Amino acid sequence: MTERLAGRTVQRLVDVALGAHHASRLHGVFFPARYLYAMGRIDKRRGTWLLVFVLVLVAAACNTRPTPDAFDSSTTTTGLGSGTAVTTIPPTLPPPEEQVVASVVSVTDGDTVRVRINAIEFDVRMLGINAPEREECWGPESTAHLTAMIGGLDVFLVSGEQDTDEFGRLLRYIFLDEPSGPILVNSVMVENGNALGLSNGHEHERSFKSLEASAFQSGAGMWGTFVCGDAEGTSADRPVVRVSMVLFDPTGPDNENLDEEYVTIVNEGYGRVSMSGWVLRDESSRNRMTFPADTVLAPGDEITVVTGCSGGPTGSVHWCNDGAVWSNQGDTVIVSDTLGNAVVWYNYTGEDAGS
């Protein structure tokens, strides 16, 4: 009886120390005192080691990534979205007469390579994905992963609806032909957290966004909790901030109604969250906004970021961007801390208009 009471005491102390949010990760785990005695965690005469054990549990639970909204691996979203089931179809190569074989000469970054086709070199921008820039957090790692996968190899290039981008780079899906079957390299980069999928209507969009959501939830690659450093990860209760609303399709032409386009973020945690210097971005490599100094959210507080220079509820932050940010056909809202660690990932589709 004494041992069982001691075990229940441990569970109770964990619940009190962590609060409902973090303690829920340990619910259902019973710590019998006889086990703890054997491990040398409890001094039968004093409670010192019991307290130490509880503090270790607290540290372990609080150093896991914040739990995102419930995710169904068969859908493309964790929060907003239609929830339409996604069927993953194994990649297939085009007929032989449509196949273009290229040799990878070099890897520029996680979504761009230089190839040789019939003795002529071309730059290829991989379709449907966007990897961190080389100077950004996880940029070098993304580049290294792509190099390890295809550097110096022969690959198959498959075009999409558009042949080149504004920089003259070929827009292509890249395939490896392995004995086990073709591998869509673009997809693997997203699945392993080395790139995000783009919501621009390409043929693999739904699959890529589903893989990206799963990668974020599991903390793969660039979505890891502390991949960019842990200076902000020392508080007892990790930031639990969420996107509560995205108004991405205001009345009239988007670029003429920037003051009516906005995203609202809420603090659902138990403590105050300082967002000073944090960065709000979309899927592109262009749109970035840094939250002003002294941006702090108390528990339950919301903050709205308006794309234009005015509008929104009292206390809104105004991006003053020169064009619309949130795409009407779908996009992803990402908020990163001052080091670049992703804290918020929120995808919506064009079917979510009015959310």
Q: What is the pLDDT of residue 238?
A: 56
The whole-number pLDDT of residue 115 equals 98
Helices 2-23 and 48-62 cross at an angle (nearest 10°) of: 30
Please write the tens of the pLDDT for every residue from 141-151.
Answer: 999 999 999 99
* C-beta of residue 110 within 8 angstroms of C-beta of residue 189: yes
3-class DSSP assignment, residue 187: helix
Question: What is the CB neighbour count within 10 angstroms for residue 158?
Answer: 21
Say if CB 293 and CB 276 are below 8 A apart: yes
C-beta contacts of 283-290 below 8 A and 24+ residues apart: 283/130, 283/196, 283/197, 283/198, 283/199, 283/327, 283/331, 283/332, 283/334, 284/130, 285/130, 285/133, 287/321, 287/325, 289/317, 289/319, 289/321
Q: Which amino acid, 331?
A: D
Report the run of H or E that residue 312 belongs to, with start and end.
none
Per-residue confidence (pLDDT) for residue 239, from 0 to 100: 76
Residues of the chain with pLDDT under 70: 1-89, 232-238, 353-355
CA distances from 216 to 75, 209, 306, 336, 343 (A): 14, 10, 26, 13, 10
Domain ranges of the chain: 2-62, 96-218, 228-352
- Spatial separation of the C-alpha atoms in residues 117 and 103, rounded to whole Å: 7
Is 3.40.50.300 the CATH number for 228-352? no
pLDDT of residue 232: 66
DSSP-based three-state secondary structure for 80 = coil
**Residue (of 206, 250, 218, 259) closest to 342 by Cα position:** 218
Under 8 Å between Cβ of 254 and 328? yes
pLDDT at 169: 98
Specify the pTM.
0.76
pLDDT of residue 70: 43
| Options 3.30.565.10, 3.30.160.100, 2.40.50.90, 3.30.413.10; CATH of 96-218 | 2.40.50.90
